[in-house]
Amino acid sequence: MKTKLFLLLFFVLTYLGISQTPGYDLWMNYKQIDNEKLNKSYQKATTSLAVLGKSETIQAIKNELQLALPQLLEKQPEIKSVVEERSSLIIATLDALPSNIKKQFSAAVDNLGDEGFIIKSIKIEKNTKLVVTAHTEIGLLYGTFRVLALMQQLEELTNLNLVDSPKIDIRMLNHWDNLDRTVERGYAGFSLWNWQKLPEYIDQRYVDYARANASIGINAVSLTNVNANALILTPMYLEKVKALAKTFRPYGIKVYLTARFSAPIEIGGLETADPLDQKVIDWWQAKADEIYSLIPNFGGFLVKANSEGQPGPQNYDRNHVDGANMMAKALAPHNGNVIWRAFVYSEHDADDRAKQAYSEFVPYDGKFLPNVLVQVKNGAIDFQPREPFHPMFGAMPKTHIMMEFQITKEYLGFSTHLVYLPKLYEEVLEADTYQEGKGSTVAKVLDGSLQGQQITGMAGVANIGNDLNWTGHPFGQADWYGFGRLAWDPYLDSEKIADEWLRMTFSNDEKFIAPIKEMMVTSREAVVNYMNPLGLHHIFDTGHHYGPGPWVSELSRPEWNPVYYHQADENGIGFDRTPSGSNATAQYAQPVAEMFNDPKTCPEEYLLWFHHLPWDYQLKNGETLWNGLAKKYQKGVNQVAKMQETWNQMKPYVSAEQHKEVNMLLTIQYKEAKWWRDACLLYFQTFSKQELPVGVEKPEHDLEYYKSLKFPFAPGIRPRWN
């Protein structure tokens, strides 16, 4: 009796212990399989494990199995290093498989690549065995995570024949982490990288971070802010970077660093950073050699140059090609890459900001060295709740073009708003550029299948910090997860990804999955409605981008002011980017340009992005533009109210703590959605001079009140840039 009580207490405490840090385990939250039939079948499949090999990656595979199986199946796995007759789950590279098993894997192996895997049930005599195989051990690690994910999602493991490999080479997180541990545009605490304690102290979090990334196939991370500090390239910091790189290596993750263009001056003692100066060239070459002597699998440099005041080749009358190729030559002997960002707009260029990256970069097509990738944001302005796809996609067929998404929610409500971003990513990936005719989707540009690029990549600006649950909002984890899945396969369905994530993170109960999945997939449209409907963009308050600031007009550079983007006046609202305006539409291929040019064919979600239209312009549903705009704002607020209602019914399926946490966050989201609606409508009303239509609630305060709100300590604001 006593022992029973003790055991009960133990389980309750363990359970409470786990629930004290809800969310730390992410989607690798290996809950007990409570489906009896499947539990039995998984037990059978894992009766005896054979994991072949000795490397650190093989050890990582064993560690994961040893962590996961006791929780999923309440049993400590027996793991052998040889295949025996009784082995039920075999994990081994193709080369290491015994020949009688290997011969069952002929057809699929050719297209596996270095990172793909096969999970197949085979029969040897009368015994069924589940085999995870690949060309490399990293492939095995990915395959192992997939087996565990299948169990977490209550999928059958019998009769499997699953072949999967990533469609994109570089699947990368960009951390905008500063050396003082603040995170630019970070809303989940401080940076994970504890530079002061490195290299000696390896936080378990680094390992868990690597596990999480590997579980979704992320294979590259850039540790530091694109607004870079040259110190990261000094010997003291490189030792610390080496320690992180070593921790990540078993998980197939390469480390990149942001390289400040003026580093040769700042830490190298040179007088110039001119990319054509021999001393500068030698300095970067020596720096690359030094880094590779410490970190043999170093990925390369990520560079923000001549953008928002950052130094770059143009400071020396050179261009992006000169700068990128100089660094590329230094890295090439070590197989490193240069990722050169295309996020540029100049204070000396009065042209529409949306046009500048294309105008500057497209003429350089074919001029970058083969180990250069040009990293392009998903839209031409800056990670807005909705933007049309960037016209550079597909427009540089002889250049390695890489995607940059933002996972952190700089313009999407920080870490307090529930906005499921894979829906946004999917919209961009599916967009048809028409650059090589119909069907030239952004996804096909990115994976190289459209124009034959040899290196492909997708980066996401991380939403991760040292908050207990990593991402601040528990649902922010879904954005990290979904980004990884789409970088692996840009053709995946965002709804399916939400389904996977919910099952692994929370519950397999359909009564939970169906409504919450619906809530997630509609949340993106909700935020567009209550922040930036009908193609409005960049009307955020200054600097920190927290909350609305459509009235802001006094910043030094015109394109930093929201009034530049919405152009509201008594005649109407919107930015004319047609031939009668900035003609940004000309950067798109036909028939896309033509479609955007005509307000009648332009999708309404981009209407005010491309057109300046009168307040009484008639929308497709017959409403006037003013009424339609106001109703969209209201709709967004209503959608958040609906999200609250949905979540309220979910108590039975999540812990009390998790329920309360999301509940509180939704309360903030609702409050802020109303704030957006009221502030924007009151402000635009000063131009439209029309009443709010029926059904749109009256604002709680007057415009002056909203204008007076100041947030000097809003998180994530740019600290000093260097």
Catalytic positions: 308, 382, 410
Max Cα–Cα distance, the chain, nearest Å:
85
Quick one: tokens of 87?
Answer: 């082995």
Nearer to ligand BDP, 164 or 541 (CB): 541
**CB nearer to ligand BDP: pick between 533 and 716:** 716
Please return the burial class of 18, using the count of CB atoms within 10 Å of its CB with bins 0-12, 13-18 and 19+.
Answer: middle
Minimum CB distance to ligand BDP, residue 378 (Å):
12
Q: In this complex, which beta carbon is closest to ligand BDP, that of residue 49 or of residue 464? A: 464
Burial class of residue 563 (count of CB atoms within 10 Å of its CB; 0-12, 13-18, 19+): middle
Tokens encoding 492? 């995946």
Residue with the CB atom nearest ligand BDP in the bound state: 382
CB nearer to ligand BDP: pick between 120 and 417: 417
Strands (E) across 355-500 are located at: 372-377, 400-406, 457-461
Name which of 558, 553, 552, 608 is nearest 578 in CA terms.
608
Give the count of beta carbons closer than 10 Å to the beta carbon of residue 190: 16
Rounded to an integer, what is the distance from CA 366 to the centroid of its chain?
Answer: 28
Give min distance, CB of 667 to ligand BDP, in A. Answer: 27
Q: What does the binding site for ligand BDP look like in residue numbers (CB under 6 A)?
A: 184-185, 226-227, 304, 307, 343, 382-383, 410, 718
Q: Judged by CB, which is closer to ligand BDP: 250, or 311? A: 311
112 near 134, Cβ under 8 Å? yes
Distance CA 122, CA 144 (A): 17
Q: Report, in Å, the least distance between residue 693 CB and ligand BDP.
A: 34
Closest C-alpha among 421, 617, 683 to residue 527: 421
Q: Which residue has the tokens 């002929």?
A: 106
Cβ-proximal residues to 626 (8 Å cutoff; 6+ apart), any chain: 615, 616, 684, 688, 690, 693
Contacts 24+ apart (CB under 8 A), 237-240: 237/179, 237/195, 238/290, 238/291, 238/294, 238/295, 239/198, 239/199, 239/294, 240/193, 240/195, 240/198, 240/199
Comparison of 185 and 612: residue with beta carbon closer to ligand BDP:
185
- Closest separation in Å from C-beta 176 to ligand BDP: 7
User: In degrees to the nearest 10, what's the CA dihedral of 137, 143, 147, 150?
Assistant: 160
Pairing relationship of beta strands 613-614 and 572-573 according to DSSP bridges: antiparallel
Shortest Å distance, C-beta 716 to ligand BDP? 8
By beta-carbon proximity to ligand BDP, the closer residue of 327 and 629 is 327
- Closest approach, Cβ 236 to ligand BDP, in A, equals 25
Residues 267, 233: contact at Cβ < 8 Å?
A: yes
CB of 409 to ligand BDP, least distance (A): 11
